[in-house]
Amino acid sequence: QELELDWIDEEGTFFSSNPFQHLEKSAVLQEARVFNETPINPRKCAHILTKILYLINQGEHLGTTEATEAFFAMTKLFQSNDPTLRRMCYLTIKEMSCIAEDVIIVTSRRVWSRGRLL
């Protein structure tokens, strides 16, 4: 039996159990500007990376310029010592590496970040 997690209230308002259902690519890419802030907020950045991965896995098309800008902003997150954020960065960069331009130098350098493999 399948569990139904979406519902409509008495006033006809639809509610979904999927918090990412109505994400807009442009809004998420705007949020990604947080990656350039100092100090890095690992929790917030990991949440934004999750949104980016969700969009990619839902088939959302990222243009080459969008992907490249987000990609290089993400590389700054490797400065964080937070292991969860670093793993999320690696996963997102891996997904975006086929879309973004000029990534081979960054990925080969960042995979061995701080003398250890991510």
Q: What is the pLDDT of residue 13?
A: 66
Overall number of domains in the chain = 1
Q: How confident is the model at residue 3 (pLDDT cuts 50, 70, 90)?
A: very low
Q: What is the mean pLDDT of residues 52-72?
A: 88
Q: What is the pLDDT of residue 1?
A: 44
Residue 40 falls within a domain, yes or no? no
Q: What is the pLDDT of residues 82-114, one digit of tens each?
A: 999 999 998 998 888 777 665 554 444 444 445
Residue 68 falls within a domain, yes or no? yes
Query: Residue 78: which domain range?
Result: 45-100
The residue with greater pLDDT, 97 or 56, is: 56
- One-letter amino acid for residue 64 of the chain: T
Residue 90 falls within a domain, yes or no? yes
Residue 74 falls within a domain, yes or no? yes
Residue 1 falls within a domain, yes or no? no
Q: What is the mean pLDDT of residues 15-36?
A: 84
Residue 61 falls within a domain, yes or no? yes
Q: What contacts 93, CB < 8 A, 6 or more positions away?
A: 71, 74, 75, 103, 106, 107, 110
